[in-house]
Structure 1
Amino acid sequence: MLTEPRSGRLTAWGNALIAGLVSPDEAVHRIVADDALHRIEGLPGETDPVGLSLGLGRLRALGATGLLAALPAPGHPLGLCGPPDFNARAMEAEEAVIAPGAQPLGLVPEVHEAGPEGDLHVEVVWRCLPVRDAPPADVPSLGEAERELAEALREATDLLSRMDVAGSGPVADAALDAYRARAERGREVLAPGYPPRAVRVLELAQRVGALIAIASGGDTGSGDGREHGAAVSASQIAARTEALRPVERTARRAQVAAYNAFVEERERR
């Protein structure tokens, strides 16, 4: 979770663009990041896929008032609002972006990769589909997310300590620092116009996500979890993951709340 999901980047920098806080070139550069190309397909009034700059402009012309991120997982339609076809596509991709407004639309990324590992050419097509004009599922306010996340971090640290794995030891801390450094090279958390609280919540949510990844043996070196605790079998690692599942859900909810804080703040005003 330290690496920003594509839906998060599109939401954050798309909101800044719609609000006139960044140029189209800057927004596109930030959204595309390390990918080769992003396009939007299926926009009303467009017969062919269009680039991000034109696509975001079209969304604004169609009445989009902002963008909202969704990070669903099996059994947890976080941020989705229907209909079933859109939800199914978003659930498969594990992310989506909602553009509420006069003509509510949703965007689901389809990722196409080519080339050897380490030299991948990645193109992303955002499939545009109609969505319901309804509140997104299970998204807390930023204040609620921050309170829940503070408790989740305590729970995660306590669980990991009792399991004799990452969370409090110097080896785990070093792995977390290295994990964060790889992910943060050249990135900026959120975009202009976001409240400082949203930045704080997103960074904390990503830290919790990194702890969970380390405890599960994910992307930390050997990938088997051996260097981060006594439990080394597949069943024991699976038990860690299951024990931390509620914490992971809280972190994802907080991440979505942070990305969506731009629209929440504007509506409150």
Structure 2
Amino acid sequence: MAGLVSPDDAALAIVGEDTVHRVEGLPGESAQVGLTLALGRLRALGTTGLRVALPTPGHPLGLSGPPEFNARALEAEEAVVCFGAAFGLVPQVHEAGPAGDVHAEVVWQVLPVREAPPADVPSLGEAERELAEALREATEVLSKLDVAGSGPVAEAAIDAYRARSERGREVLAPGYPPRAMRVLELAQRVGLLVSLAHGRGHGAAVTSAEMAARSEALRPVERTARRAQVAAYNSIVEERERGVR
């Protein structure tokens, strides 16, 4: 949308390891279309950027309405909202293929959205400060809950994360500020800690009551990590919006 890569390159990056991404409900199209055509059509409709939303029940993070779009985004726990045009896209993920060769296919449903500021998205500066505090809170909480973060599953997850980082994987598209990269990497590390802490076998909490206590204690940390991820992904659009103002 910023004109820094071709629509074909953008589509390839979006698809990743999935097999097929299609877009349904695009204005002017009566059937599903491919991503390359969809991105071009969205630009023609006035879209100059895309925001991500990562809502959960009780936390409509990144959403601006209307209720129908919010409900679908909450069900999927993710959505994309156009900047410059009143459209949003919600993914529906399906598994396809025979046993042993199962792959993901995604259909993005285009729906009207309300042109309003997205809910509860912090600035990059706010997100970075909140993440630093969240890391301290996570360490304290995990220590109190006797979560050692050890065991084969936890160790494998940490090793995989380190391997991805060492390969210098590109986690954001071209054009993002360095601070956004830093915030996103930190948010992903916090999210990894939270996911490991939720998993059974990574610490001493094994009863249902202990698992519930662990989830309750970590909920604010997980919320902070999600807010920071959205702030990082949306930072380039937010900068453009401030420039327009």
TM over 0.5, shorter chain: yes
Figure out how many residues of one structure are paired with residues of the other and give that number: 242
Native 8 Å contact 1:179 1:210 kept in 2: no
TM-score normalised according to structure 1 size: 0.84
Match of 1:143 among 119, 122, 125: 125
What's the offset of the Cα at 1:246?
A: 0.6
Q: Is it true that 1:112 corresponds to 2:112 in the alignment? A: no
Aligned alpha-carbon RMSD (Å): 2.2
SS at match of 2:105: strand
Aligned to 1:34: 17
Aligned to 1:261: 235
Listed as ranges, the gaps of 5+ residues in structure 2 are: none
Native 8 Å contact 2:83 2:237 kept in 1: no
User: 1:117 and 1:140, CA in 2 relative to 1: closer, same or farther beyond 3 A?
Assistant: farther
Native 8 Å contact 1:41 1:127 kept in 2: yes
Q: Is it true that 1:237 corresponds to 2:237 in the alignment? A: no
TM-score normalised according to structure 2 size: 0.91
What's the offset of the Cα at 1:61?
A: 0.4
In structure 2, C-alpha distance between the alignment counterparts of 1:246 and 1:197, rounded to whole Å? 23
Match of 1:69 among 52, 67, 84: 52
In structure 2, C-alpha distance between the alignment counterparts of 1:75 and 1:157, rounded to whole Å? 25
In structure 2, C-alpha distance between the alignment counterparts of 1:122 and 1:171, rounded to whole Å? 27
Aligned to 2:175: 193
Per-residue CA distance 1:93-140 (angstroms, 9 max, x = gap): 000000021x31000001111246763221111000010011111111
User: 1:54 and 1:186, CA in 2 relative to 1: closer, same or farther beyond 3 A?
Assistant: farther
Match of 1:177 among 158, 165, 168: 158
In structure 2, C-alpha distance between the alignment counterparts of 1:232 and 1:175, rounded to whole Å? 20
Alignment of 1:209-220 (within 5 A): 209-217=191-199
User: 1:172 and 1:44, CA in 2 relative to 1: closer, same or farther beyond 3 A?
Assistant: closer
Match of 2:5 among 2, 19, 22: 22
What's the offset of the Cα at 1:31?
A: 0.4
In structure 2, C-alpha distance between the alignment counterparts of 1:194 and 1:84, rounded to whole Å? 31
Aligned to 2:184: 202
Aligned to 1:152: 134
User: 1:199 and 1:239, CA in 2 relative to 1: closer, same or farther beyond 3 A?
Assistant: same
SS at match of 2:49: coil
SS at match of 1:67: strand
Per-residue CA distance 1:208-253 (angstroms, 9 max, x = gap): 1110111111xxxxxx2x2x32212233122111110011001000
